[in-house]
C-alpha cells in the first residue's frame, strides 16, 4: 500500500518552491549565522515560522547549532493557525514532502507518543494547510541531512494540554536520540518600540526556563506568541529529558528587515540544553514526602488491600482481608490513592480528614480512584494487569503563615477560598520542578481560582506532607 505523504502547502509563498533556489537560500542563511558556544548537550530549539524573507536569518541562528549533527528523529511541535481543535494532532503517516525531498515520519515514535495521552491523536485538518511546522523542515534538511520526523500540531494551547503534550513527548522519546523543535513567532502588528518591549517579557521567561511564568504572561497579555503552547510543551519535555539550561540566540522583528516599523512581527531563536554531567530524568528523581514510620510490610499490606478492593469490585467478589492488621493501620489518617497505567494517570482520589482507620481509607480511596474519578472512565478488568498504584498517607494539615515555609518535595498544598478548593500532593511539585510560587499558582488553578488568588484576602492555604509509596 502506498504511504500517505503530506505535500507542501506553502512552498512558493513562505519559501521558494524551486529546489536549487530553496537550498541556496537556506544555505546562505546558515552561512551568515554565527554558531554560539553551548556548554552542554542540545535537547531542543525554538525557531520562528514566518516567511523566510522575514524570519529566515533568526531561524538560521537556531539551526546553525545542529549543523552536521546526528539525530535519529526530530520532534517538531507547532501551533495550529487555520483550524481550532482540542488537544494535539500527531501526523503518524508516511512522510512530509518539501521541495528538498520527503522526510520520513517516525511512525513508531509518533504512536508511542500518542499512546501516552488521549488528547494526542491524528486529525488531518491540523496538518493539511498548516505552515508553522512545514517551514522548519527545509532548515532541518539542510542542517542535518538524513533524519525522521515526528510532527505535532497543538490545537488548544491551554496549560493542561501543553503539559500533557510535553509529558507524552518526554515519555515517548526517553532513551532515544531526538531533537525537539518548538515553532513560534512572537508579538504581531505592534509598533516597533511596543513589540520590542513586550517580546522581552517572553524572552526572559525562556531565559528563565519557566513554562509556568510563560503561560502566566501569555494569559495576562504581557507578551504574545502564536506558538506559546508549543514552547511550553517543549520546555516541559526538555526538562524531563534532562535539560536544565536555556539561551536566547537571536531576536529581531520584521521592522529590522523591511525598515517598516509601523506594525511589526517578532521572531526569536533559542536553545534548551543539558549542562555537562546532566542526564535524562527517570528513576533518579529525589523521593518526595517524608517517612511516617510505616514498616515495609505494612506498606505492602496497604497495597494488597487497595488492589484487592479494586479487583473485588471488578469481579463482584469483595471480601475483608484475612490478615491481622497492625496498630499503625488502625490509626485514623487521611490518604490518597493514585492509579497509573503505562506511566499515565488513570485516577486519583483522596480523603484529607483522618476520619477512618488507615486501612479502611485506603480501601475506599482505591475504589474511588478506579471508578469515581470524574476525569476518567471507570476502570475495566482488562486494564487491571497494567495498573500501577501509589499511596500517599497524609500528615495533618497546618495553616500556612508564610510561603517561605513551603519545602518543595516535602510539602503538599491545600488552598481554599469560598466554594473553591484544590489540593496537590508533595510529589507533584517535585516531579515538575516547580518553585514555591509556581506550586502555589498551580494549586490555585487546581482549585479553579486565578493563579494569583493565593495572595488574596480570604484565601486559606494549608501545608501537609505524606509518606509516599
Q: Which pLDDT tens digit goes with each residue over 169-186?
A: 999 998 899 999 999 999
444 vs 459: CA distance, rounded Å: 10
Residues of the chain with CATH 3.40.830.10: 5-274
Please provide residue 135's backbone torsions phi and psi, each rounded to the nearest 5 degrees: -70, -15
pLDDT, residue 450, reads 92
Our CA angle for 270, 167, 169, nearest 5°, is: 65
Taking 70 as the pLDDT cut, the residues of the chain under it are 1-3, 277-287, 318-323, 342-343
Q: What is the CATH number of domain 395-469?
A: 3.30.1490.150
**Three-state secondary structure of the chain:** CCCCEECCCCECCCECCCHHHHHHHHHHHHHHCCCCCCCCEEEEEEECCCCHHHHHHHHHHHHHHHCCCCCCEEEEEEECCCCCCCCEEECCCCEEEECCEEEEECHHHHHHHHCCCCCEECCHHHCCCCHHHHCCHHHHHHHHCCCEEEEEEECCCCHHHHHHHHHHHHHHHCCCCEEEEEECCCCEEECHHHHHHHHHHHHHHHHCCCHHHHHHHHHCCCCCCCCHHHHHHHHHHHHHCCCCEEEEEEEEEHHHHHCCCCCEEEEEEEEEEECCCCCCCCCCCCCCCCCCCCCHHHHHHHHHHHHHHHHHHHHCCCCCCCCCCCHHHHCECCEEEEEEECCEEEEEEEECCCCCEHHHHHHHHHHHHHHCCCCCCCCCHHHHHHEEEEEEEECCCEECCCHHHCCCCCCEEEEEECCEEEEECHHHHHHHCCCHHHHHHHHHHHHCCCHHHHHCCCCEEEEECEEEC
Fold of 294-390: Glycoprotein, Type 4 Pilin (3.30.700)
- Please say whether the beta carbons of 265 and 192 come within 8 A: no
pLDDT, residue 386, reads 83
97 vs 9: CA distance, rounded Å: 10
pLDDT, residue 79, reads 97
Residues of the chain with CATH 3.30.1490.150: 395-469
Q: Please compute, for residue 395, the number of CA atoms within 13 A of its CA located in the half-sphere on the CB side.
A: 19
Q: Which CATH class is domain 5-274?
A: alpha beta
pLDDT, residue 282, reads 41
Hunting for cell 536569518 — which residue is that?
Answer: 57
Residues of the chain with CATH 3.30.700.20: 294-390
Query: Chain centroid to CA 347: how far?
Result: 19
434 vs 426: CA distance, rounded Å: 11
Summarised one tens digit per residue, pLDDT across range 83-98 is 999 999 999 999 999 9
Instruction: Characterise 255 by phi-psi region: left (phi > 0), alpha (psi -120 to 50), beta (else).
Output: alpha
pLDDT, residue 287, reads 66
23 vs 110: CA distance, rounded Å: 28
pTM value is: 0.64
pLDDT, residue 1, reads 42
98 vs 5: CA distance, rounded Å: 10
Amino acid at each position: 500500500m502506498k504511504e500517505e505523504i503530506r505535500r507542501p502547502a506553502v512552498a512558493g509563498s513562505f519559501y521558494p518552491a524551486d529546489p536549487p533556489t530553496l537550498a541556496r537560500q537556506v544555505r546562505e542563511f546558515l552561512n551568515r549565522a554565527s554558531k554560539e558556544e553551548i556548554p552542554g548537550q542540545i535537547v531542543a530549539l525554538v525557531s520562528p515560522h514566518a516567511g523566510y524573507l522575514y524570519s529566515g536569518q533568526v531561524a538560521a541562528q537556531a539551526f546553525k547549532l545542529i549543523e552536521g549533527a546526528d539525530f535519529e528523529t526530530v520532534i517538531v511541535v507547532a501551533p495550529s493557525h487555520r483550524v481550532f481543535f482540542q488537544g494535539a494532532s500527531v501526523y503518524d503517516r508516511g512522510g512530509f514532502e518539501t521541495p528538498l525531498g520527503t522526510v520520513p515520519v517516525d511512525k513508531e515514535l509518533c504512536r508511542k507518543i500518542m499512546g501516552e495521552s488521549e488528547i494526542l491523536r491524528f486529525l488531518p485538518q491540523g496538518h493539511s494547510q498548516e505552515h508553522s511546522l512545514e517551514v522548519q523542515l527545509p532548515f532541518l534538511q539542510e542542517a542535518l541531512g538524513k533524519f525522521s520526523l515526528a510532527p505535532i500540531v497543538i490545537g488548544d494551547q491551554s496549560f493542561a494540554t501543553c503539559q500533557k503534550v510535553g509529558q507524552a513527548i518526554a515519555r515517548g522519546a526517553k532513551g532515544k536520540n531526538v531533537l525537539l523543535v518548538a515553532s513560534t513567532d512572537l508579538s504581531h502588528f505592534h509598533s516597533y518600540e511596543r513589540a520590542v518591549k513586550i517580546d522581552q517579557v517572553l524572552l526572559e521567561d525562556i531565559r528563565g526556563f519557566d513554562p509556568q511564568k510563560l503561560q502566566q504572561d501569555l494569559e495576562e497579555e504581557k507578551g504574545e506568541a502564536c506558538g506559546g503552547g508549543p514552547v511550553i510543551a517543549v520546555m516541559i519535555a526538555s526538562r524531563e529529558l534532562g535539560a536544565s539550561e536555556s539561551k536566547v540566540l537571536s531576536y529581531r522583528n520584521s521592522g529590522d528587515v523591511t525598515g517598516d516599523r509601523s506594525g511589526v512581527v517578532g521572531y526569536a531563536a533559542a536553545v534548551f540544553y543539558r549542562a555537562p554531567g546532566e542526564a535524562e530524568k527517570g528513576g533518579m528523581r529525589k523521593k518526595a514526602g517524608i517517612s511516617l514510620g510505616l514498616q515495609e510490610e505494612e506498606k505492602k499490606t496497604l497495597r494488597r488491600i487497595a488492589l484487592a478492593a479494586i479487583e473485588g469490585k471488578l469481579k463482584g467478589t469483595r471480601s475483608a482481608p484475612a490478615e491481622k492488621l497492625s496498630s499503625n493501620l488502625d490509626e485514623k489518617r487521611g490518604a490518597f490513592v493514585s492509579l497509573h497505567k503505562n506511566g499515565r494517570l488513570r485516577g486519583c482520589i483522596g480523603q484529607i480528614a483522618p476520619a477512618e482507620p488507615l486501612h479502611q481509607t485506603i480501601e475506599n480511596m482505591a475504589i474511588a480512584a478506579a471508578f469515581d474519578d470524574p476525569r476518567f472512565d471507570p476502570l475495566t478488568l482488562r486494564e487491571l494487569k497494567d495498573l500501577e498504584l501509589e499511596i500517599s498517607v497524609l500528615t495533618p494539615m497546618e495553616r500556612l503563615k508564610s510561603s517561605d515555609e513551603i519545602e518543595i518535595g516535602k510539602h503538599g498544598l491545600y488552598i481554599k477560598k469560598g466554594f473553591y478548593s484544590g489540593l496537590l500532593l508533595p510529589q507533584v511539585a517535585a516531579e515538575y520542578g516547580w518553585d514555591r510560587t509556581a506550586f502555589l499558582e498551580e494549586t490555585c488553578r487546581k482549585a479553579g481560582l486565578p493563579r494569583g488568588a493565593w495572595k488574596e484576602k480570604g484565601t486559606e492555604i494549608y501545608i501537609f506532607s505524606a509518606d509516599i509509596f
